Structure 1
């Protein structure tokens, strides 16, 4: 068991602009769907690896990092950190990635989404992350003009369980999973492109990540529940173009997850790129200390640059 040291002063979530380039905004200014008031508290701690780990998310937000207007490409990427749907590796697979995007003129928006483990969630735990994901991309579209973002150049990136959420958004964007709250909810939730990094894709067969599956659908799910969130089963010709990265020796989330999704995209004629590295394990993020693996982010930048 890893030991955690709490730093209560590290994250202060505010609902106003911090600067022209950085803001933290609540997803649900009116009523958070599927949520009740409890004594549960959100927790932000550093683990033994120095990663900021957030659990018991109570108020989902987007944290917006914008490049300077002069360098902005008009592209934006919403980032979904991983953590098995139990927690969020918030800096390692979130804010660190957003800052890397800014250096290339891309807006990076980190989504702090709710987790099915939370006791404040009342029902339909399996769709709560998708509710937050749909709302998040709609909010970015709503603010695209102010943030120097093109509304048709908004993509998503997810890591591990965050990759499952990203692929869920990319295949279930048209589904109504919450009641309309304002004009933002009239906008499209379809991503223009997706990047999935060592993603959980399926909840079925031997390829599934048991922690993510248990978090989403419990110990004894029905086949219908498994199939609904096995996202390789929901790819169609309108699924966004996708970039996939995985390590063949990943013993946390099998590389078969990326292969399943790539095959499904190919069968539907959807453009896709997949990069499988022989070594890297799981949870490597930017892999800055690996001279081979760290190039994945440059391959992504090259790929996203050539998108229409």
Structure 2
């Protein structure tokens, strides 16, 4: 009995250590592009921790043991149609999985464009993810991270945000900057999981488009946030996953981005599965789709070998 009790204590202690993380505000002083409102952040747990009306964006930092750290770090953008964040389903659960591969997982709780506290809707998410990448680089030495191995992963609308970062990382802001904002916001790599890419009405996810750009956006805005049209020579290497039977975000989103990257000779790897639908996260219980994370782990490992 005593032996069993000691084992249980050890398991509890190990679980506690694994669950430890640090949460830091993105903007310790004034949040740019914001205004006072009576809005309150909401968090609902019904199978998934669903966060809406984000008021104070932050990053939750999950670090692997120093002995197993590869030096890579990934900023994670959960999805939710730009109306909410599937914070654990596509966020903290992946941070822990990344830790098991020796990679730092940084979960971004970004502002949502429909919040009353946001002035210009479509600017806030990009501002937050730019800041998150810069903060990781600012803390790279403290967190045992190579500042040249900082990437981004995004799911669904979070995939749109991640691909927006990858194509608009040098977007200039007008707010007063600090030393963190002087660092590069370019991700060294991107992983886009069943991502929204285009704002083209034929293939976009209409809910995400409406939430980000409004119901009647200008042609200029639609083109600017159709990220397949914004790929440049310095867009980072990209990994894409999608299911053919995705009825929420058509597979053409990933196909279009793949073609745009290929045209610019940017390294890209894409895996299209016949079934899986949308929002499958780890794909558990969905046959061989559940092995997609092995493909991602192999790709990340390959990047690390190319840039030791």
TM-score (norm 2): 0.91
For residue 114 of structure 1, what is the aligned residue in structure 2? 111
Give the drift of 1:176. Answer: 0.8
For residue 194 of structure 1, what is the aligned residue in structure 2? 190
Cα deviation per residue 1:62-96 (whole Å; 9 max; x = unaligned)?
A: 00000000110100000000000000000000000
Distance 1:30 1:162, change over 3 A: same
Segments of 5+ residues of structure 1 without an aligned counterpart are: 1-17
Match of 2:97 among 94, 97, 100: 100
Give the drift of 1:287. Answer: 1.1
Matches within 5 A, 1:25-64: 25-47=24-46, 50-64=47-61
Does 2:248 align with 1:255? no
Distance of 2:218 and 2:38 partners within structure 1: 31
For residue 7 of structure 1, what is the aligned residue in structure 2? none
Distance of 2:49 and 2:18 partners within structure 1: 22
Secondary structure of the 1:37 match is: coil
Secondary structure of the 1:306 match is: helix
User: Contact between 1:198 and 1:246, CA under 8 Å: does it hold in 2?
Assistant: yes
Segments of 5+ residues of structure 2 without an aligned counterpart are: 1-16
Give the drift of 1:181. Answer: 2.7
Match of 1:85 among 82, 87, 94: 82
User: Contact between 1:127 and 1:177, CA under 8 Å: does it hold in 2?
Assistant: no
User: Contact between 1:82 and 1:88, CA under 8 Å: does it hold in 2?
Assistant: yes
Give the drift of 1:46. Answer: 1.4
Distance of 2:173 and 2:269 partners within structure 1: 30
**Greater C-alpha Rg:** 2
Match of 1:209 among 205, 226, 237: 205
Greater helix share, 1 or 2? 2
After superposing on structure 2, the runs of 4+ consecutive aligned residues of structure 1 that deviate more than 6 Å are: none
Secondary structure of the 1:101 match is: helix
TM-score (norm 1): 0.91
Give the drift of 1:180. Answer: 3.8
RMSD: 1.3
Q: How many residues align?
A: 288
